[in-house]
Structure 1
Amino acid sequence: MQDEDVLAEFRASKALLEGHFLLSSGRHSAHYLQCARVLADPQRAGRLAQALASRIPRELRKDIAKVISPAMGGVIIGHEMGRALGVEALFVERPDGTFELRRGFTIEPGEKILMVEDVVTTGLSSREAIRCIESEGGEVIAAAALVDRSAGSVDLGIPFFPLIAINFPTYAADELPDDLAAKPAVKPGSRAKP
């Protein structure tokens, strides 16, 4: 699947939004990719997961024992990646603001894990999820995401495989362009900011 094919999937599902958005990273953007919309269609989600799985080198793919994703945004793509790779798909969640492995999910000591996200902007959630997985005994050997919004600058400390890199500019609150500052900011994601 080429970049234009991936964008066509986002456009077809009306998941590419324009306006003024406050991202979960705390940065502002005129564009937002609503991955929940692109993943709502199970066939589309499966196609995207198959394409994402094919981006991971075969040597790494064969070692993956489980896929773990952060809730909420990563749950659907994590599940579909588990299906694409033929492994169990779990998720970590934040009942009290910090990622935890719950619901009876377990990781065997040294088990090789692929951490999967929907969108990576700064990598903060990804790094938090990786720390949680490691604290439970897992070895995170790679990360994958549908979308890399970091302009290629994110460093997760492990190999990172996005399906597409989209470089819409993001801004700190004190550096907003006038046209963006003139619009009210909307928080479209699943995670509330403190």
Structure 2
Amino acid sequence: MTDEQVLAEFRAAGALLEGHFILSSGLRSPRYLQCARVLMDPARAERLARALAAKLPAEVRSAIDVVVSPAMGGVIIGHEMGRALGRPAMFVERPEGEFHLRRGFALERGARVLLVEDVVTTGLSSREAITAVEEAGGRVIAAAALVDRSGGTADLGVPFTPLIRIDVPTYAADDLPSDLAVIPAVKPGSRAA
């Protein structure tokens, strides 16, 4: 799937938004890709996951034991990646601020994990999820995401494969360009800043 085909999926779902957005990282942006909206169509979610799975290096695809994703944003794409790769899928969640496996999920010691996110901006959620996987006995061998918004700068500590890289400017709340500062900010993400 080409970058334009990926963006066409987001446009068709009404998931490529323009305005003033507060990202999970606390940074501000004039554009937002609402992955929950693009993934609400199961056929579209399956297409995107298959394209992302195909983009992973063959040695990673063959080595994965399990797919783990951070809740909330990564749950659907993580599940679809598990299906595309023929591997179990589970998620970590943070009911009290830190990610943990819950709901009876458990990793065998040394299980080789693919961490799957919807969007990576700074990589903070991914790194926190990787820590949770390691604390649960797994070993994250690679990470993948639908969208890399980091401009290629996110260091997850493991090989990282996004379906698409998008260079969208981000700003600190106290350093907004004048055209963005006049637009009311909205927070469409799932984590408090």
Query: What's 2:124 paired with?
Result: 124
Alignment of 1:1-194 (within 5 A): 1-193=1-193
Following the alignment from structure 1 to structure 2, what is the Cα–Cα distance between the partners of residues 63 and 168?
33
Aligned equivalents of 1:90, 1:96: Cα separation in 2: 19
Structure 2, unpaired ranges of 5+: none
Q: Which runs of 5+ in 1 are unaligned?
A: none
Q: Distance in 2 between matches of 1:192 and 1:140?
A: 26
- Give the root-mean-square deviation of aligned CA atoms: 0.5
Deviation >6 Å, runs of 4+: none
Find the aligned partners of 2:88 and 2:127 in 1 and give their Cα distance. Answer: 21
Q: Distance in 1 between matches of 2:76 and 2:69?
A: 9
Structure 1 residues 118-143: Cα deviation after superposition (integer angstroms, max 9, x where no partner): 00000000000000000111000000
Percent of aligned pairs with the same amino acid: 72
**TM-score, normalised by the number of residues in structure 2:** 0.99
Using the alignment, how far apart are the partners of 1:126 and 1:132 within structure 2?
A: 10
Q: SS at 1:174's partner residue?
A: coil
Q: CA deviation at 1:192?
A: 2.2
TM-score normalised by the chain length of structure 1: 0.99
Deviation at 1:173?
A: 1.1
CA distance in 2, matches of 1:179, 1:59: 46
Q: How far apart in 2 are the matches of 1:178 and 1:121?
A: 23
| Cα distance in 2 for residues equivalent to 1:146 and 1:64 | 18
